Amino acid sequence: MYIIAPSILSADFCCLGDEVDAILRPGGADWLHFDVMDRHYVPNLTLGPMVCAALKKRFPTLIIDVHLMVKPVDALIVDFIKAGASYISFHPEASEHLHRSLCIIKEAGLKAGLALNPSSSICTLDPLVLNLLDYLLLMSVNPGFSGQSLVPGILDKIKRTKYYLDSHQEKTGQNILIQVDGGVNMDNIREIYDAGARIFVAGSAIFGAKNKIAAIQQLRSLLP
């Protein structure tokens, strides 16, 4: 099982609806990864809940995976729940009360994730927090901009994280999926899969292609 989630950050914002439509045709994306930045937590400013709600209205069955790179997070979590998000992740450093922020997501019936920057470790997360997670987003670049290359050593970090989560699953029965965001392309997706990831956020590799469906299918062909 794996998920291909094109990152909206790499889409052409002048024709955003058509760009999303192009990745949802038969054989296309499983999810849409929706990058939210506030120019405070990260040095960029992107999209808000109104855009998410508009896309959900046009594409009612679309699974929208919201990645909040904002601080603070709780108010925007609520806004994106109302806007139609299916999955919401945020960075631990951005929440004053991590457990409470995750509970807001879970109590609304959504899937909850945490996003870890390249320098952050899963070992700092308490089991009380892990028990609320459906997935863990590992940033393979420093957050803020699209089109970056993988940070050196990230494959080893994915492997270490997978080992840690497998140990947690043996104790609890809980399966937490690993999502990787940043620099995913045709040349490295298989290595990232082999390291333990199952959700792949690809931006430029998909939205930068002339034929977006063909790009998605090529990514799929490289996975087992």
Q: Which of 12, 18, 35, 134 is catalytic?
A: 35
Q: Which two tokens stand for residue 56?
A: 């959900």
Per-residue pLDDT reduced to its tens digit, 55-90: 999 999 999 999 999 999 999 999 999 999 999 999
Question: Tell me, what CATH number does 29's domain have?
Answer: 3.20.20.70
Contact 10, 19 (CB under 8 A): no
Domain that holds residue 196: 3-221
Active site residue 12: no
Which pTM was predicted?
A: 0.95
Contact 47, 36 (CB under 8 A): yes
Q: Which of 30, 74, 181, 194 is catalytic?
A: 181
Per-residue pLDDT reduced to its tens digit, 1-35: 899 999 999 999 999 999 999 999 999 999 999 99
Q: Which of 128, 84, 79, 87 is nearest to 106 (CA)?
A: 87
Q: Which two tokens stand for residue 13?
A: 């914002």
d(CA 185, CA 132): 30
User: How many domains does one find in the chain?
Assistant: 1
Active site residue 166: no
d(CA 177, CA 9): 22
Give just the sign of the alpha carbon dihedral 192, 201, 171, 1.
Answer: negative
